[in-house]
Amino acid sequence: MLSWNNAHRVGVLGMLLIAVAVQGAPSSDPPREMLQVNPDARTSHATPPVSNGLIAYARNDATGQLQIFTINPDGTGEQQLTTLGHNQYPAWSFDGQSMVFSSNRTGAHELWTMDADGGNKTQITFNTAGGNFTPEFSPDQSKIIFASVRGGLSHPEVWVMDANGANQTRLTTTPVFPGLPNWSLHANYSPDGTKIVFASTMSGTSQIWMMDADGTNQQQVTIDNGPGAPDSNAPDWSRDGTKITFWSGFETQFGEVWVMDADGANKTQLTTTTDPRNSDNPEWSPDGTTILFDSNRAGPVEVWSIDDTGANPSVLVPATGGQVSWQPIVTLAADLNADGAVDLADLASLLANWGSTSDKNDRADLNADGVIELADLAQFLANWAP
């Protein structure tokens, strides 16, 4: 939000009031049909529009150290963001302005944050003997969830902390099964921030689990996806909250990229990789049309992309080191014409739709209450940024 002086605010407010008077204030008792708003539509226009930005990933530099890079979705414009130590598991914030990652530049693998261009690198965890991995921001960016090996354990558990590293809290307690993999990791939030999906061996094999944001109500989502896919790992929630993509196969050996509804229904295999090759660590594009994953199907591990149906597989980044993350480019809800500014053109669009609730105009309903009115005008003013 940009601040503006009182004279500017009064001048614009006066102009707005005149414009509203010309347009006509909405009735205090609108027709009943005006209030019949589709709940799904309300959810859709309450969420700021998003498009696909830079893709962050880790690959070896000339010295053999893993470093974090970004690249455009078409594979051009690679930029190196880290240079010190071994860096991996980049994860973009929900507004696309920063990322969190794991680095051993000070010893053990600790978590760091940095700006989208690699600036302002800040360490946020310290003195973690076994290391911290697979971090993800909460949708409101106030929290970071991650996997950590600490407290005398030899396996990772899911932890959460404030975005500055304060108030670190353990959310999972995984039973140890001798001779088998033991972990809880790859946690990420539902887009509304109320749920967490993660992979865990709590039931004896690696499966997808879900819990409330405070760690309660832990429930297993996958059990066995068939003869070639008894185990599951690496879930990633789509930004619209309807789907989860994940890996399924034989743990620590090979498997495929799958997708399912957020409630665990309609599990579908998306990739077909000749065994013992592997397709792993799937990641949704912000707009939900594409899934990135890493695969050694052609030899070395590379970043591949497929459509959300599994069609059109192609190599995006050769010779990478695993988990990727796709930057969301978020348009302010008040930026009605999506030109990067909240200005007079957007005001004209809002006023042109005054009192309307039709689907084609629903972006102007900023508070998603079913009618374009003074409350939307107030929210528009709060985001004024010409």
pLDDT digits (tens, 9 = 90+) for 223-267: 999 999 999 999 999 999 999 999 999 999 999 999 999 999 999
Tally Cβ neighbours within 10 Å of residue 336.
24
CB proximity list for 51: less than 8 A, separation 6 or greater: 286, 287, 328, 329, 331
Distance from C-alpha of 71 to C-alpha of 372, rounded to nearest angstrom:
40
What local confidence, expressed as pLDDT, does residue 48 receive?
62
- The string over 123-147, giving b where at least 16 C-beta atoms fall within 10 Å of a residue's C-beta and e elsewhere, is ebbeebebbbbbbbbbbeeebbbbb
Q: Give the burial class of 206: count Cβ atoms within 10 A of its Cβ; 0-12 exposed, 13-18 middle, 19 or more buried.
A: buried
**Each residue's pLDDT tens digit, 11-26:** 434 443 334 344 444 4
Distance from C-alpha of 159 to C-alpha of 271, rounded to nearest angstrom:
31
Q: For tokens 């102007």, name the residue.
A: 364
**Average confidence (pLDDT) per 10 residues, the chain, 386 residues:** 34 40 40 31 50 95 94 94 97 97 96 98 95 97 97 96 98 96 97 97 98 98 94 97 97 96 97 94 96 94 95 89 87 72 82 69 71 82 76
What local confidence, expressed as pLDDT, does residue 199 receive?
98
What local confidence, expressed as pLDDT, does residue 28 receive?
37
Distance from C-alpha of 159 to C-alpha of 178, rounded to nearest angstrom:
23
Residue whose C-alpha is closest to residue 248's, from 216, 280, 277, 219: 280
What local confidence, expressed as pLDDT, does residue 271 receive?
97
Cis upstream peptide for 276 (omega within 30°): yes
What local confidence, expressed as pLDDT, does residue 348 receive?
85
What local confidence, expressed as pLDDT, does residue 367 receive?
73
Per DSSP, what are the bridge partners of residue 88? Answer: 102
**Each residue's pLDDT tens digit, 44-92:** 334 567 899 999 999 999 999 999 999 999 999 999 999 999 999 999 9
Q: Which domains does the chain have, with CATH numbers?
A: 33-49+341-386 (1.10.1330), 50-330 (2.120.10.30)
